Amino acid sequence: MMTEKLERILTLLAAAQVSPSEFRTIVMDLQGTDPSIIEQRYARVRAKVRRISETASTDDASPASANLSKRVRDDVLSFARDGAASPGEAAERLGKRLAFIDDTLQLPPFSSKVGFNRWLEKVIRIASPNAVLNAAIAEFSEHRPSHTDGWRLSDS
């Protein structure tokens, strides 16, 4: 039986487009490595990713950053629509997924008065475009609804 944590790791590897042969190599490398060494490497990589994320979020004014954020927002909207999620449900599920991945994130509460697009823009600035996109892929590809009636997200 696969644990939820293992499922999360596999989802992240799939989102990173790791090939089957690369995956086999990773598994073999993990099996032959002392867990403390893996933990040390993980800590270094995580610190590096956080530094990059913090640097990227301080550069929000750059056109490339704004363009990436817009593309991610559009993709997340598309995933949520495909999952037949209402704006409130999409915000709740995406927020929970991001908190599951990084419990240190301080995400804003969703407000229907403000709208999903504005909420999502704030979340992208806080969590980084890549983190939000990966979370949306994982969340909305796992939960296919049994029916598609009901309120759906719009671009506006």
Work out whether the CA dihedral 75, 79, 85, 90 comes out positive or negative.
Answer: negative
Average pLDDT over the chain, rounded to an integer = 75
Predicted confidence band of residue 58 (pLDDT cuts 50, 70, 90)? low
Residue with tokens 């644990």: 3
Confidence band of 53 (pLDDT split at 50, 70, 90):
low
Average pLDDT value for residue range 141-149 = 46
- Average pLDDT value for residue range 17-30: 86
Q: CA 135 to CA 94: how far, in whole Å?
A: 7
Residue 49 to residue 57: CA distance in whole angstroms: 12
Nearest to 85 by CA among 147, 11, 7, 15: 147
What is the Cα–Cα distance from 90 to 82, expressed in whole angstroms?
11
Residue 111 has pLDDT above 70, yes or no: yes
Give the least confident one: 4-18, 67-81, 115-129, 139-153. 139-153
- Helix H segments across the chain? 4-15, 20-31, 35-58, 63-82, 87-101, 116-127, 129-142
What would the pLDDT profile of 100-109 be if each residue is shown by its tens digit?
877 788 888 8
DSSP label at residue 117: H
**SS3 (DSSP) at 44:** helix
User: Which pTM was predicted?
Assistant: 0.49
Mean pLDDT, residues 29-55: 80
Helix axes 4-15, 129-142, angle to 10 degrees: 120
